[in-house]
Structure 1
Amino acid sequence: MNTDQFLVKSELKHIDTASFTWQTPSNIALVKYWGKSNPQISKNASISFTLNNCHTITTIDFSKKQNSELVSEFNRTVDFDLFFEGKQKEEFKPKIAEFFRRVEEYCPYIFDYKMTINSENSFPHSSGIASSASGLSAIAMCLMSLEKEINADLSADFINKKASFLARLGSGSASRSIEGPLVVWGKHPAIEGSSDLFGIQFPYKVHSVFENYQDAILLVDEGEKQVSSTIGHNLMHNHPFAESRFLQANENLAKMAKILQEGDIKSFVNLVESEALTLHAMMLTSNPYFILMKPNTLEIINKIWEYRQENNSNICFTLDAGANVHVLFPESEKLNVLQFIDSQLSKFCQKNHYICDTVGFGAKKL
């Protein structure tokens, strides 16, 4: 794997202060990854819809340190303050500090600046919507904006590729939040240009039935997950079904690539739901085992199945690593499905809370 392409090789321009704001989305995987090796390499390829309304907005203010070039490379630290939704969040800093440690080889300029990070989500933090994906991709885009200012030769394509590469070092799914509407992360023979190092846009023409696809996120549980995704991924190392699962996921991605091009929506429904349940089956069969679904998660799934059968609908569900349910459906069914959600499903959500979303196109500079 050639990571040298992401090293800073040019002379960097001197800038005293800079500030950048990016809005980057969460994403929802259709074919999941669960299990990874260092440094943040997935055990199987995955593909996701980029979301639009579920996003993080992050501003980073950069101030050049005095005499930063005199600091020994053995005594350098990344200096940053972190504010989340207006409040200083010391408990979030270790994860961000670890991210900076992982990217410092590729972004050595971060030692030269004091950073003030202000971030906010459009959705509840740590509740099964991929907040690490949107949050770390936003930081990565801010870093690349600074790199562009001090190295003007960078192309837009390279910026997106390196941002995805950097974001991946913080959160694997964050590699899929730079672009959209469909992004593949992980080397796969059926996907031209795919890489373990960064996400790429799905490179083939997608059937019109999947354009402007809808995702209503039913917030069954807005609290923090009992078991983090990091712990869950680590439990795949000695999982009895791990190797079979990795093989299955790669086979499913090849099937999904064909489905998306041909518009076989019935097969799409079947594969997406199977992937969601398989993800949670890996949690149920790990050691120690755990359950992230809640009783209302299952109530919603059964209601979706009933509705689909009674109305010959193409509605389906998927799940991330949490209790919340993503209800996916084509735009042509939007009116009827939203009425169904409001009248039948919202009662299973915490405070009747759900988010109406649609597929989006990735990061936006504000």
Structure 2
Amino acid sequence: MPPSIVARGLDTPNVFITAGDGVFMHQWHCVVVGFLTNEIAEHIARRTSFPNLPPAMRSVTCSTPTNIAVIKYWGKDSVALNTPINSSVSVTLNQKQLKTVTSIVASTTFAADRIWLNGAEQDINNKRIQVVLKEMRRLATSKALDADGKPIRKEDWPAYKVHIVSINTFPTAAGLASSAAGYACLVAALIELFAAEEEYPGQFSAVARQGSGSACRSLDGGFVRWEKGTKADGSDSLAVQVADHLHWPELEAIICVVNDKEKDTSSTSGMMTSKDTSELLGFRAREVVDKRLHAIEAAYKAKDFETFGKITMMDSNQFHATCLDTYPPIFYMNEVSRSIIHMVHKYNEAAGRVQAAYTFDAGPNAVIFVEKKHTAEVMGLLLHHFDRDATLEVRGDFKKTDVVAPAASLLSAVKVNAAPGSLKMIYHTTVGEGRKVLPASESLIDLATCLPRQ
């Protein structure tokens, strides 16, 4: 806190009380989204006023990453509990390029809970949102401070309503796990708001799962497994970190955005139809997934890219084969997707080993995993085949100027029929960490109105 700020007494209307990264305002009787990292007495002693600020609160903001499954989950064991028919495992991507950011403020003066996504107000009565809110309120403790610097009793939390503001930095509902990052971020922010505590390890991820299945894997960084679970109440269907984000620093990802629009068949609808009609889906869950999980986790821990890459591609192929085996069939990939698959296989054939590995979630957009030493070469091939008019935007630390033109021998071996302009964008990113609490300066909330910033 800057030394020029002078503390004032509790009888002053516009009093602010610091709590970790949070600020509480006496006049508004509001609570900041923030976990108390120091003793409550220390925060009360550090009460301050900010004479240049309007009578509003400052909110702490959370962010969470997206994750890309390399062993896919498709099909629900229980729709009510949102549990899967098989376990899965994913790579968490770096938030520098792809993330969801969520701010939440709570007040006894708000008339009702409200939520905004990407600038548009959404229905707060959405069943999944309500499940998450109810469960996180149940896990609230008495450790958060109210506007008078006193702990809010657990039993008093129902008097507080919340305003939730959330944005994605990547296309929503286009097969890039936006719902996973979104629900994970909602849970992350509610953890901070309520100073919530788990009753058992992994419970927060189980709550996120009830919003969006894959969301449970976005609370942690690195390589994360989602356990199917066996308990009737779904409590053991949760995420477990296999390796942190620092384990394999050479692993990178190139995301090819083929379509940034909402997909025709939602994941929820698609997997329900697959479960009802695809015999391959059941066979995959019973006979294939567990073996692949053990093998790919061992490969990741050993940084064995060739094994990791081969299993990743095989599982992506089988997932989409399941979609084709569905009646009527579901087509998430398109001709551009298939051109990328062809390019990766031809590249690996030319190299004599697996140096790049594609995977596709429920959408046409490709994620290509590579090790850093091969990134420039693969990017060069992508730009050569898909950016002939030099208009394709590349986001991330890797720039177009870093690309070295592919050798003539490589171009001769890797021929792709690709229409210019068929890719919308490319992201270059790395393995990333899990949920974060961001500085208050990154709040999405207008401090004067408690509504989204314009």
Normalised to the residue count of structure 2, the TM-score between the two structures is 0.66
Report the Cα offset of residue 116 of structure 1: 1.5
Report the Cα offset of residue 212 of structure 1: 4.0
Partners of 2:241 and 2:204 in 1: CA distance? 14
Tell me which residue corresponds to 1:278: 318
SS of residue in 1 equivalent to 2:343: helix
- Superposed CA RMSD in Å reads 2.8
Q: Mapping of 1:151-300 within 5 angstroms?
A: 154=197, 161-187=202-228, 196-202=236-242, 210-238=248-276, 239-247=278-286, 248-300=288-340
The superposition leaves residues 315-349 of structure 1 with CA deviations (integer Å, 9 ceiling, x where unpaired) of 11001110001011012212222222222245656
Partners of 1:274 and 1:118 in 2: CA distance? 38
Report the Cα offset of residue 136 of structure 1: 0.5
Judge conservation of contact 1:303–1:345 (CA < 8 Å) in 2.
Answer: no
Judge conservation of contact 1:17–1:64 (CA < 8 Å) in 2.
Answer: no
Question: Do residues 44 (structure 1) and 86 (structure 2) align?
Answer: yes
Q: Percent identity?
A: 27
Unaligned 5+ runs, structure 2: 1-28, 33-58, 141-156, 389-417, 439-454
Once the two structures are overlaid, the 10-residue window that deviates more, 98-107 or 52-61, is 98-107
Tell me which residue corresponds to 2:120: 88
Partners of 2:423 and 2:317 in 1: CA distance? 25
Partners of 1:24 and 1:167 in 2: CA distance? 12
Judge conservation of contact 1:160–1:178 (CA < 8 Å) in 2.
Answer: no
- C-alpha distance 218-94 of structure 1, shift in aligned 2 (>3 A): farther
Judge conservation of contact 1:49–1:359 (CA < 8 Å) in 2.
Answer: yes
- C-alpha distance 351-300 of structure 1, shift in aligned 2 (>3 A): closer
Tell me which residue corresponds to 1:131: 178
Report the Cα offset of residue 261 of structure 1: 2.7
Report the Cα offset of residue 41 of structure 1: 1.0
Query: Which has the bigger relative contact order, CA under 8 A and spacing at least 6?
Result: 1
- C-alpha distance 207-179 of structure 1, shift in aligned 2 (>3 A): closer
Partners of 1:169 and 1:273 in 2: CA distance? 28
Question: Do residues 107 (structure 1) and 137 (structure 2) align?
Answer: yes
Judge conservation of contact 1:31–1:46 (CA < 8 Å) in 2.
Answer: yes
SS of residue in 1 equivalent to 2:66: strand
- C-alpha distance 134-350 of structure 1, shift in aligned 2 (>3 A): farther
Report the Cα offset of residue 114 of structure 1: 2.0
The one-letter code of the counterpart of 2:31 is T
The one-letter code of the counterpart of 1:361 is E
Unaligned 5+ runs, structure 1: 1-14, 67-77, 190-194
Q: How many residues are matched?
A: 326
- C-alpha distance 265-338 of structure 1, shift in aligned 2 (>3 A): same
Report the Cα offset of residue 234 of structure 1: 1.2
- C-alpha distance 351-253 of structure 1, shift in aligned 2 (>3 A): closer
- C-alpha distance 261-291 of structure 1, shift in aligned 2 (>3 A): same
Judge conservation of contact 2:256–2:367 (CA < 8 Å) in 1.
Answer: yes
The one-letter code of the counterpart of 1:64 is T
Judge conservation of contact 1:215–1:328 (CA < 8 Å) in 2.
Answer: yes
The superposition leaves residues 184-210 of structure 1 with CA deviations (integer Å, 9 ceiling, x where unpaired) of 111589xxxxx843211106x9996x4
The superposition leaves residues 12-67 of structure 1 with CA deviations (integer Å, 9 ceiling, x where unpaired) of xxx7422331110000001111011220111111110001121111111111258x
Q: Pick from 100, 114, 137: which aligns with 1:56?
A: 100
Partners of 2:423 and 2:282 in 1: CA distance? 40
Partners of 2:245 and 2:424 in 1: CA distance? 34
Partners of 2:101 and 2:212 in 1: CA distance? 17
Judge conservation of contact 1:29–1:49 (CA < 8 Å) in 2.
Answer: yes
Partners of 2:135 and 2:349 in 1: CA distance? 54
Once the two structures are overlaid, the 10-residue window that deviates more, 117-126 or 107-116, is 107-116
Q: Pick from 112, 120, 131: which aligns with 2:167?
A: 120
The superposition leaves residues 86-144 of structure 1 with CA deviations (integer Å, 9 ceiling, x where unpaired) of x2233x6454x532235514524674322211111111111110000101000001111
The one-letter code of the counterpart of 1:258 is A
- C-alpha distance 101-262 of structure 1, shift in aligned 2 (>3 A): closer
Partners of 2:184 and 2:116 in 1: CA distance? 16
Judge conservation of contact 2:104–2:163 (CA < 8 Å) in 1.
Answer: yes
Of structures 1 and 2, the larger Rg is shown by 2
Tell me which residue corresponds to 2:367: 326
- C-alpha distance 276-126 of structure 1, shift in aligned 2 (>3 A): same
Judge conservation of contact 2:174–2:259 (CA < 8 Å) in 1.
Answer: yes
Partners of 1:183 and 1:45 in 2: CA distance? 11
- C-alpha distance 63-207 of structure 1, shift in aligned 2 (>3 A): closer
Question: Do residues 338 (structure 1) and 352 (structure 2) align?
Answer: no
- C-alpha distance 350-144 of structure 1, shift in aligned 2 (>3 A): farther
Report the Cα offset of residue 230 of structure 1: 0.4
Partners of 2:130 and 2:229 in 1: CA distance? 28
Question: Do residues 17 (structure 1) and 56 (structure 2) align?
Answer: no
Tell me which residue corresponds to 2:427: 355
